[in-house]
Amino acid sequence: MKALVWNCQGAGSPLTIPQLREACNLLSPNLVFLCETKNRKIFMEKLQKQLRFEESVMVESMNKAGGMAVMWSNEVQVMDVVTTAFTVEVHIMESEANVDWWFIGIYASTDDQIRRNQWEVIERRKGKPWTWSNQWTQEGEIIQRLDRALGSSAWSQHFDRATVKHIENFGSDHSMIFLDANPLREKRKKRFIFDKRWLKKEGVEEVVKQAWNSPHSGSRMYKVHRKIATCKVEILKWRNQFQGNARKNIDKVKKQLEELKDTDCQDKKRRNKMLKRQLKEAYEEEEMFWSQKSRVQWLKEGDRNTHFFHLV
């Protein structure tokens, strides 16, 4: 199972949803835990739909403070869910490993005495090291490791290859935490799937013709095999001409934000705010690009049929 955990400091802030979508697309988590959502259940259920998770449990925020949510896909076999004022506890059955365990999402108090009591309750269940920054500049900067993934010794024995990574983001002071209980030993080669929307774009026919007519020597079947492979390569090159621009802009701004973290310039706070605004606009441009280029029918079918959407 793959779990993504984030103190998002407001699920409705401008960068939160785009960065959650990006993380889910890149990491494919089966389960997501968000704390400090600062939103009501109806808003979080809309977010669940946008992230395409089938099941969820929410703990609503009070007066736009606090709030927790756990969302998971049908791939996760959930036996029970328990909520408290500071935890969402999910009892999970791992069929392949023939073991059940508790995933406990915690939003602990900053008060030492309250937190000590909270840990007593939890104990009954059994990269860059920093996950939080106050984002001040120069002498006022404070960085700490506030967000953690903890496992019991028994759990660690069952999932001895589990990994935890810190995922940098710019929508919150806190890094995301990504837990992969069963990481793949080998990276799978991504399959090439022809997107039928490309047929509506100018130039694709000429790209395929030129690639197919390229000369190859060998047997008939070998020639066909090489022609198909050449078509795939040339189509991907052609696709990147119009598909990569928005993505490159996002990556460029994110790189600038990363570089800004390590500088001590006087206007660091102003530049950080400006770059975050640019990142928000870049995400909006990417979404607008795809919504304009995609067929309305395809989008409707994707909303109705999750299996169809993922296949496309």
d(C-alpha 287, C-alpha 281), whole Å:
10
46 and 151 fall within a common domain = yes
Instruction: Indicate the residue among 151, 180, 209 that finishes a domain.
Output: 180
**Pairing verdict, β 176-180 and 163-167:** antiparallel
44 and 112 fall within a common domain = yes
d(C-alpha 33, C-alpha 70), whole Å:
4
What tens digit of pLDDT does each residue of 222-274 get?
Answer: 889 889 989 988 988 887 776 556 677 888 888 888 888 878 887 888 888 88
Domain count, the chain: 2
Q: Tell me which amino acid residue 193 is.
A: I
Long-range contacts from 143-150, C-beta under 8 angstroms, 24+ separation = 146/7, 146/174, 147/5, 147/7, 147/174, 147/175, 147/177, 148/177, 149/5, 149/177, 149/179
Question: Is residue 189 included in any domain, yes or no?
Answer: no
Q: Which two tokens stand for residue 197?
A: 């929307």
Domain residues for the domain of 212 are: 196-311
Give the DSSP H or E segment for 298: helix 296-304
Question: Is residue 42 included in any domain, yes or no?
Answer: yes
Question: Is residue 15 included in any domain, yes or no?
Answer: yes
Instruction: Indicate the residue among 132, 155, 180 that finishes a domain.
Output: 180
What tens digit of pLDDT does each residue of 265-312 get?
Answer: 878 888 888 888 888 888 887 776 666 556 544 555 555 555 555 555
165 and 220 fall within a common domain = no
d(C-alpha 312, C-alpha 310), whole Å:
5
What tens digit of pLDDT does each residue of 85-113 get?
Answer: 888 999 999 887 778 888 989 888 878 88
93 and 173 fall within a common domain = yes
Instruction: Indicate the residue among 156, 180, 204 that finishes a domain.
Output: 180
What tens digit of pLDDT does each residue of 31-78 get?
Answer: 999 999 998 889 999 999 999 999 999 998 877 778 999 999 999 999
CA 306 to chain CA centroid, Å, is: 17
The domain that contains 31 carries what CATH number? Answer: 3.60.10.10
Map residue 202 onto helix, strand or coil.
coil
CB 152 within 8 A of CB 125: no
Question: Is residue 188 included in any domain, yes or no?
Answer: no
219 and 160 fall within a common domain = no
250 and 302 fall within a common domain = yes
Map residue 90 onto helix, strand or coil.
strand
Instruction: Count the helices and strands in the chain (H runs, E runs).
Output: 9, 11
Question: Is residue 222 included in any domain, yes or no?
Answer: yes
